[in-house]
Structure 1
Amino acid sequence: MSQAPGLGIPGILHTLREYLVFYSGLGLLAGVSLLWSVLALPLRLVLPRRWRKQTGRWVITMGFRMYLRALSIMGACHFDLKALDTLRGESPMIIAPNHPSLLDALMVISRSPNLACIMKSELVDNVFFGAGARLAGYIRNDSLRSMICLAVEDLRRGSHLLLFPEGTRSNRLPIGTVRGSIALIAKEARVPIQTVFIETESAFLTKGWPFFRKPSMPIHYRIRLGQRFDPPTDVRGFTVELERYFQSALAEARLPPLSSMGARAP
């Protein structure tokens, strides 16, 4: 991580530049998301059903890819996401990353155009993301039964599925409690689970981090692939195994300290 300049005019100018980059990045994400929501509303009505998901997912992938590229050009972040490119075009699977920050989903989606995503219901209803998420056929998480059925159906139709095993951002290191829904979906859909490791040294947008609090920049993100597990037969046993695997594999990884507001004692 680069060190901020000391006090004086250069330090003040550096800080001002970081604030400009930070708020420009937030504004760009909000503007692009809102524009796509406005366009997605009529497209959902006029596009044939078979084209809706494909169109919605492709546009979101390209939009996030350009957004992350813009952050790189501005010097806000550096991304190493090339490991995800090896998954493109492969047969249906669950992509299961650890979840340190709010940027995790954007990074995975930016490299995966044939991807279903399970989202919090408040995001699906959000004015900035909701219309685009519905056009892309992203799955709400407010009903467990419905979520599992829709996820299995999407996988059987050939999609990949992004599902964070913790269900939310990590509230302890190296990973929080893994939920059984990931094993149940993999079992019912008979698809493998591809583990993914997201590494960063910054606590930016970890659980408890205030959304408008500027981090030190640039932030470095790296994604690498872990083990691919066959479809489980024992949901409870596999859930325990998967959590132990993440704990072991992430023991030496670059992970940010958790905000005191989001941390939980082990």
Structure 2
Amino acid sequence: MMRASWLRFAYYFSWLLFGLGGLAINLAYAPLLLIGNRGKMGRHARRGMRWMLDLWLRWMGFSGIVRVTWKGFEGPLPGGVLYVANHPTLVDAPFLLARLPDAVCILKPSLMRNPLIGPAVHLCGYVSGDKGVDLIRDAAHRVSEGQSLLIFPEGTRTLSDGALHPLRPGFALIAQLAKAPVRIIRVRSSPHMARKDWPWWQLPPVPGWFEFTLEELIPADRLGPPAALTQQVGAWLSVPPAAHFLPPPPPPLYPLLAARLRTFWLAKPLGMTAGMSAFFLVYFAILKHPQFPVFTMPLTAPDHWVPFQPGALLLYVSLWLYVPLLPALLDKPRDLLRYALAAFTMAVFGLCCFLVWPTATPTPALDWAQYPSMAFLKSLDAAGNACPSLHVAFAVFTAAGFQRLLREIQAGSLLLLVNLFWSFGIAYSTMATRQHVALDVLAGTLLGLLFAAFTFKKTPPAPTTPPEPQPLSPL
């Protein structure tokens, strides 16, 4: 129920973000239409549009609304190419414009006149579809100058059963006039996701699936007559109904987590208990017997922004639940060993810092007797061993590990957000309880990120051989 509610919210919020992003970039670009070199500004405008669409695509993926697979888009793509695609949904054009280099698109006249995005798409140099012969010349000129052109020759969205509308030969005329190569993009998507027969404001089955496949290049000297090229491209773009290509759904989450908890069920708690006990023995020994003069960490502006919050103590002590959860959910010996080695090394590094450079937080003007729970914490953990904050370092390190783990098991964006907010709350609590100052938190964050970068590196996928496209017959 919680996941369904989140997906419903994220779906409509995604469209709100799209509208607000379009309005923002429109307001930013509208004055530029009246001044300066429109051609030069167009390149910057397309870069800004691509950046905005890429952010939107990343949000859609992060929130769990869509899962997108890109095939053939791994390396840099050249400019001066016609990219011809089928058009099953409303969002395949924004997704592709976020991925293609310096690309313009042929848009419906109604979109060019749309007050929400009109000035922005004009400045980007997108081409209106109502220009007739001038459209062919204008588009060919842009491609010959090195811009990429994304075109949907159906002129409207593909039918829901995957059947193509008759292709218009305009793209073939543009390619011939520009003497430019053509590259085909085959788009597959899940049913109902912004399809022609499903209004965008009606929540479809989510998450949706998209697959973008970049086929091999058709060189300019092999284009042939426009009619034959149009027929051949139509044959390439014809794909079976998308439902046959849906990846399997992710496994049930809670049984998967329970199975992970059961692996090495004895070794994990024994190892964590031994490691934490050894750490605290050394930690308190260094705290109570500093070998050098103790340096008091200075206050900075963020320390004055964060008020004292005794209620943040609950977040502070939640670290001792948060940190052990990650190794408890690891189920491979190699991952457990890598985690243990990184946690040990990070702890030793922090303890060495405390040993050679003892630091303490400044004493706040507070009467701890008014806050019994805080007084107990202060009596247990004095103000020393301040910088770097190992409390924050382990919270950040654990958050990075959870981000990778939760993505690996396809836990959904809600748990990803909970993880981020939990780690942020722990870092915030170290300042709100006056256990640390902002410089301690900054140093701890950098320490945690450094060790996380080496520990939780993304595992490269196994090399696969891409499917061979159907060969083009001579034209």
Same fold (TM over 0.5): yes
**Structure exhibiting the larger radius of gyration computed from Cα positions:** 2
* Aligned partner letter, 2:16: G
Indicate whether 1:166 and 2:154 are aligned. yes
Assess, with a 3 A threshold, how the Cα gap between structure 1 residues 255 and 139 changes in structure 2: closer, same or farther. Answer: farther
Deviations 1:75-117 (A, max 9, x none): 11122236335352x1411001111101111111101241111
In structure 1, the partner of 2:231 is: 240
In structure 1, the partner of 2:85 is: 97
**2 CA distance for matches of 1:155 and 1:123?**
22
Instruction: Give percent identity, aligned residues only.
Output: 23
Aligned positions of 1:99-114 closer than 5 A = 99-114=87-102
**2 CA distance for matches of 1:213 and 1:206?**
11
SS at match of 1:216: coil
Alignment coverage as a number of residue pairs: 243
Give 5+ residue unaligned stretches, structure 2.
Answer: 246-475
Indicate whether 1:59 and 2:59 are aligned. no
In structure 2, the partner of 1:124 is: 112
CA apart distance, 1:173:
2.2
Q: Is the 2:72–2:215 Cα contact (8 Å) retained in structure 1? A: no
Write 1 or 2 for the structure with the bigger share of helix.
2
Q: Is the 1:196–1:223 Cα contact (8 Å) retained in structure 2? A: yes
Deviations 1:17-54 (A, max 9, x none): 22211111111100010011011111222342332210
Assess, with a 3 A threshold, how the Cα gap between structure 1 residues 227 and 82 changes in structure 2: closer, same or farther. Answer: closer
* Aligned partner letter, 2:28: L
**1 CA distance for matches of 2:6 and 2:242?**
30
In structure 2, the partner of 1:204 is: 193
CA apart distance, 1:242:
1.8
CA apart distance, 1:56:
1.1
TM-score, L = length of structure 1: 0.84
Indicate whether 1:45 and 2:34 are aligned. yes
**2 CA distance for matches of 1:177 and 1:187?**
20
What is the RMSD of the two structures over their aligned residues, measured on CA atoms? 2.1
TM-score, L = length of structure 2: 0.49
Q: Is the 2:79–2:102 Cα contact (8 Å) retained in structure 1? A: no
Give 5+ residue unaligned stretches, structure 1.
Answer: 1-9, 257-266
Indicate whether 1:225 and 2:225 are aligned. no
**2 CA distance for matches of 1:50 and 1:118?**
17
Which structure is richer in relative contact order (CA contacts within 8 A, separation 6 or more)? 1
Q: Is the 1:85–1:111 Cα contact (8 Å) retained in structure 2? A: no
Indicate whether 1:78 and 2:67 are aligned. yes
Aligned positions of 1:135-214 closer than 5 A = 135-171=123-159, 173-214=162-203
Q: Is the 2:83–2:184 Cα contact (8 Å) retained in structure 1? A: yes
Q: Is the 1:199–1:255 Cα contact (8 Å) retained in structure 2? A: no
**1 CA distance for matches of 2:22 and 2:101?**
17
Assess, with a 3 A threshold, how the Cα gap between structure 1 residues 218 and 252 changes in structure 2: closer, same or farther. Answer: closer
